[in-house]
Amino acid sequence: MALIEGNSIRSTCRMTGIAKGTVLSLLADLGDQCAAYHDEHVRNVKTKRIQADECWSFIGAKQKNVSAEKMAAGWGDVWTWTALDADTKLIVSYLVGQRGADWAKAFLEDVASRVSNRIQLTTDGHHVYADAVESAFGADVDYAMLIKLYGNPVNPDTRYSPGEVIGIDTKVIVGRPDPKHIATSFVERQNLTMRMSMRRFTRLTSGFSKKLANHEHMLAIYFMYYNWCRVNQTLRVTPAMEAGLSTHVWDVSELVSLLDNRSILHGLLKTA
């Protein structure tokens, strides 16, 4: 629970009295199980509207500070692609990788494989989306881009956030998307929740991921918790319940019970 409420690995160890190696083993094992559960059970999703976006983070160091040797080891900028059902708030698909065309194609093909009907899709104006949507859905989608127009930031050399939004433009790419639902606000809000819920995404701290694998494991646990355990304040149920994938709110012990490696779980309970 500590890891999905904004705590670092070391602070989690201090809070629980559990050794760092044990926490990292739990992170890896539970992350694998959560990723597998999501892959198997988030299928045939009946949804009308999907919003997609990318969230930036980094492994080890920011891209501009990474040597060729460290880059080969996986350091540098990394992006988390997310697709969210605008009605149920379910994370339908996610992918950790880079921001290029191949990644966009893999991400949207995964989205297409998980939905059971024609959808309305909205993304930001990132240019790689158009070809990726065509590859994944063909003409069987109502797709529009929402393009935000930004003013110049006050100090472009030091600001992390873009400048103030001074306008919004929409561009219909395929089909006939409903103009009232061309939006990315829900997935952007989820990305903020994601950034606030994991120390690895917090800016200007030393809690960033040092290994790509641990970053991926943490995201798998977070999305499992977000879909199955975390009650949405507006819906008053979890996204998985609203989407018809679950009949009840999971507690954390139920999530942890996905572990195949019972020795780690027993060790944690004994230590606690």
Give the pLDDT mean for 165-186.
92
Q: Indicate the domain borders of the chain.
A: 2-120+186-271
Reduced to 3 states (helix: H, G, I; strand: E, B; else coil), residue 59 is strand
The band of 271, judged by pLDDT with boundaries at 50, 70 and 90, is: very low
Q: Is it the case that residue 263 has pLDDT exceeding 90?
A: no
pLDDT value at position 55?
94
Per DSSP, the residues of 183-225 read --HHHHHHHHHHHHH-GGG-TTSS-SBSSHHHHHHHHHHHHHH
Rounded (10°) CA dihedral 213, 217, 219, 223: 150
Token pair in block for residue 134: 């065509």
Measured distance CA(52)–CA(36) in Å, rounded: 22
Q: Which of 73-82, 153-162, 236-245 has the lowest mean pLDDT?
A: 153-162
pLDDT value at position 39?
97
pLDDT value at position 168?
83
Contact predicate 122/146, CB 8 Å: yes
